[in-house]
Structure 1
């Protein structure tokens, strides 16, 4: 099957790769300064400034069957089903 990023409306002037092996992915990460190898051989990625989760980006669809079971607040934010379905 032919695969073309333009069919997905993804336009880039950079070289893109597809279905790389683990070894190829590791080589790219090291070459691009994105990670290093641990003594065990595992790839250690640099996560940068933002290493944690994003708690204010968590939404739960409001529904009468679960509304009383959710601890709504700054972490568990409600979203209407129609909005969720349009995402």
Structure 2
């Protein structure tokens, strides 16, 4: 951030960002631990391995972020690998 000189968020946004960070991490881990006690470990591992691909796909669709062809190919390979497993 220092190299690219990206400004910090406004001070009024810090409490909300902190709350979202704490809640996001807490909710994620609580749900993950709950799910891992209810489903098979192989299924849990497959779901966890898809998180980066799902994040990229959602950011492209919802936030309209542009993904390079290489990224779309990587998403397809990740999905096909998961289906294969």
TM-score of the aligned structures, taking structure 2 as reference length: 0.20
Structure possessing the higher relative contact order (Cα contacts under 8 Å, 6 or more residues apart): 2
Higher helix share: 2
Structure exhibiting the larger radius of gyration computed from Cα positions = 1
